[in-house]
Structure formats: C-alpha cells, structure tokens
Amino acid sequence: MTNQKSVWLRLLKLPSLLTVLLLAQGGVRGQGKEVRIAAAADLKFAMEELAGQFEKQTGTKVDVTYGSSGNFFSQLQNGAPFDLFFSADIDYPKKLEAAGLAEPGTLYEYAVGRIVIWTPADAKVDVVKEGWRALLDERVQKIAIANPEHAPYGRAAVGAMQKAGIYDQVKAKLVYGENISQAAQFVQSGNAQAGIIALSLAILPPMNDGKRWGIPAELHAPIVQGAIVLRNAKNKGTALAFLEFVKSDAGRALLSKYGFAASRKK
C-alpha cells in the first residue's frame, strides 16, 4: 500500500515538472525573433531554400513545420502557435480569414500548382510518349492520386481525367494517397504503376529520375495556393517581412524553380 502511494505521488509530481520545463522553454521562445511557419508538405524543398535565404538576409530564424493543409487548418482553428500559413489550397486561408483568425488583407496567392502523370524510370509503359493512353494500358493496374475529397491536387487529377474523357475507364484503378506525397510513395514503392502527382514533387529527387508527362493546365481548375499571416502571430512584423520576401522577384523565381508556377503571370 505504501509502495503504491509513493508511486502515485511520483506520478503527481511529473506534470508539474513538465509544466516548469514547458514554461521555461516558452520563455526562451518568446524572446527570439524567429518566425514560425506551417507549410504544405509539397513546399518542403522550395521553403527550405526560401527560409535559408531569408535567414541569411535578415538574421531571423525561420522555423518551418510541414504537413497537410487540412490538418494545419484544423490545428490553426484551435490556436496552433504559427505566424504564417502556406496552404496547398487557397480555400483554407480564405476560411481562416472569414473566421477572423487571420490578419485581414494578408492573403497572397503565391503559386499555381501543376500536375503530371509520373511513372518510375523502369516502367513498361512510356508515359512521355503515351500521355493519357498510358493510364489505359492494362499493365498499369493501379493509379495513385491524392484523395480528391480533400486534397486539391487529387481534385485536379480527377477533373483532368474527366475532361480528357478517360475517368470512367480508369476509375477502378485509382488508389488514394492521404496527400500528394503519399500518392507518389505508392508509385515509387511499385505498388501502383503510375500516379498523378504535383510537378513540384516530380522534378525533385528522388522522383526526378522517373518519367513524367505534364497534364495541360487548361484541363483542370487551377490549383491556386495561398498564404496568410495569422491573427495571433507572435511576430507579426517578421511574418509580414517573410511574406514580402516571397512576393519579391527573388522569391518568385525561387518558387518557379521548384515547379510552382507564379500565379499573377497566368
């Protein structure tokens, strides 16, 4: 009995210790000038370079968390401590703005996403030559796309297949990844023979040694991607400065280098 009691006492002390640690950490965090960004997973490489250059120019630390835009949206609604949100879809930041959770007037369309049909280099079907017909080939048993119910790239993939008139024929072959990266992973591991993924993923390692065929942009609704500064940002000034940097010529050039078409030029 006494033994049990002491265990309970120790357990009770644990949370208070954790609280002290968390508070201490919070104090350190508050002092820094760093900007905390929630970014869609497909931005990973572009954002790393953007953050690196911004850090070099301003000396401000940029802390980026990558994930699914929908997840971030739910988290931000519940007070996640981010200063800036780069969504893979313009709808989420728009909804945050409408809900009064974002800084009014800071919504920025940073890019328009493009999609490609992608296969590994050793695929038996040549997607570069065949285009859409590659998906109809019987050797392609599974086609991976992002879940069209909530992923913008998945919606665009379905829209494009419908417009190309092949959707009903390939519908049974489709498998859904949680997001565009998982769809790519299904193809890369060989479990699906082809996928419709973001150009920004297809041009980077390890996907860039595969074969790809660009889906014409007019076949699907534009995948407009938006960023916004959040209402309860700790470092609003720095967040705005980072957004300005993304808007600058250098920032836009960098984004297009990573496969994100600039939105204004369209």
201 near other proteins, judged by CB under 8 A: no
65 near other proteins, judged by CB under 8 A: no
Q: Torsion angle, CA of 160/164/167/168, rounded to 10 degrees?
A: 160
54 near other proteins, judged by CB under 8 A: no
CB of 161 to other proteins, least distance (A): 17
Q: Which residues are within 8 A (CB) of 161 and not within 5 positions of it... i.e. 6 or more apart?
A: 132, 135, 167, 170, 196
Binding region for other proteins (CB under 8 A) out of 52-60, 65-73, 111-119, 206-214: 65-73
Q: How far apart are CA 77 and CA 75, in angstroms?
A: 5
Q: Which is nearer to other proteins, 52 or 67 (CB)?
A: 67
Q: Which is nearer to other proteins, 25 or 77 (CB)?
A: 77
Q: Torsion angle, CA of 183/226/234/46, rounded to 10 degrees?
A: 60
Asked if 175 and 141 touch (Cβ cutoff 8 Å), the reply is: no
162 near other proteins, judged by CB under 8 A: no
CB of 41 to other proteins, least distance (A): 13
Q: Which is nearer to other proteins, 74 or 248 (CB)?
A: 74
Q: Kindly tell me which residue out of 144, 157, 201, 254 binds other proteins, with binding defined by CB under 8 A.
A: 144
Q: Torsion angle, CA of 145/151/153/155, rounded to 10 degrees?
A: 80
State both tokens at 81: 């401590």
CB of 196 to other proteins, least distance (A): 14
Amino acid present at 51: A
CB of 19 to other proteins, least distance (A): 26
Strand order through the sheet with 143-146: 174-177, 143-146, 194-198, 115-119, 211-214
CB of 141 to other proteins, least distance (A): 6
66 near other proteins, judged by CB under 8 A: no
141 near other proteins, judged by CB under 8 A: yes
State both tokens at 179: 């997001």
Asked if 114 and 259 touch (Cβ cutoff 8 Å), the reply is: yes
200 near other proteins, judged by CB under 8 A: no
CB of 123 to other proteins, least distance (A): 11
Contacting residues toward other proteins, per CB under 8 A: 68, 70-71, 73-74, 141-142, 144, 147, 149-150, 175-178, 182, 185-186, 189-192
